[in-house]
Amino acid sequence: MARISFDLQELQAFVAVAERSSFRAAADDLHLSQPALSRRIEKLEAILGARLLDRTTRHVSLTNVGRVFLERSRAALDELESAMLGVSDLAAQLSGLVTVACVPSVAYYFLPSVLRDFTAKHPRIRVRVIDEGANTVLNAVISGRADFGVNFIGTQEAEVDFKAIFKENFVLAARKDHPLARRKSVTWEDLTRERVMTVDKGSGNRLLIEAALAKSGKRSQTAIEVSHILTLLGMVEAGLGVAAVPQLALPLTTHATLVGIPLSQPRVSRTLGLISKHGRPLSPAANLLYDMLRNAGRAARA
């Protein structure tokens, strides 16, 4: 059996380029010149006898061999780091990059407080956030672009492990000077006389609302459609109408302009969960953030 020998630095160089999809960004992370980084990658490919990366002037992507080698390289580096640090001081000294994908409403109000605590405890761990729609978040986890995600879809996917952490209701977002803002609750029937705004039909949140309304025999009338919930809230704040949004889309503390009013008949809710690729273990660094988000979700649910 042939003996393959390469330096740890070459393995780290490959993982950095693969994760950043950029020689320039990876070189900055590793404090190397781009030519030096390229030489490490070329040496690694020569030793393996296979091309790991496809390069153009503007883009870097993994080959099929590169995708397989990336997973094995991450696992090898994680095991080596765990062995070097030891179990007792792993959490204090661990470094690396964690990529988490999450829907924008989570990224805006729920995630920041968790990341503040996480980075204070683990300053050597870098975090990248992919804040996109539910389908993009799901695909990022399945494809390996993200270590794990926070989403409200994925329970039906065989490739995904879904662990529920938080259930939230949809509320009516309105300006504080809107007549409905004085109500303790409103029904969907109350909205027939209002200018109702919503996210577009490609949104997972829109599908949840329409499915719930269809079961109750109700229909929603839409005055304005947008692509993102945060844009929707901006429209509400500008006084263009009202909108049904997930509770987490609104600040946990009192907002200067907006208020969230409970919506009923029917009550529409969604369950947020941590999603990860089935059969692919998390790195020690990713596992730390995963556990912190799970605990924060339980605390919010309590």
Question: DSSP for the chain?
Answer: -PPP---HHHHHHHHHHHHHT-HHHHHHHHT--HHHHHHHHHHHHHHHTS--EEE-SS-EEE-HHHHHHHHHHHHHHHHHHHHHH-STTHHHH--EEEEEEE-HHIIIIIHHHHHHHHHHH-TTEEEEEEE--HHHHHHHHHHTSSSEEEES--TT-TTEEEEEEEEEEEEEEEETTSGGGG-S-EEGGGGGGS-EEEE-TTSHHHHHHHHHHHHTT-----SEEES-HHHHHHHHHTTS-EEEEEGGGS-SSPPSSEEEEEEESS--EEEEEEEEETT-PPPHHHHHHHHHHHHHHHHHH-
Residue 53 lies in a domain: yes
205 and 255 together in one domain: yes
Residue 77's pLDDT band (cuts 50, 70, 90): confident
Residue 98 confidence (pLDDT): 93
Question: For 235-257, what is the mean pLDDT?
Answer: 87
Residue 246 lies in a domain: yes
Parent domain of 32: 8-74
Query: Structurally, how many domains does the chain consist of?
Result: 3
Percent of the chain with pLDDT over 90: 37
39 and 175 together in one domain: no
pLDDT, mean over the chain? 86
171 and 231 together in one domain: yes
Residue 3 lies in a domain: no
36 and 183 together in one domain: no
Residue 192 lies in a domain: yes
263 and 190 together in one domain: yes
148 and 233 together in one domain: no
- Return the CATH number at 108: 3.40.190.10
pLDDT digits (tens, 9 = 90+) for 101-156: 999 888 877 888 899 999 998 888 999 999 988 899 999 999 999 999 999 988 88
186 and 201 together in one domain: yes
52 and 121 together in one domain: no
pTM exceeding 0.75:
no
263 and 280 together in one domain: no
- Return the CATH number at 243: 3.40.190.290
178 and 252 together in one domain: yes
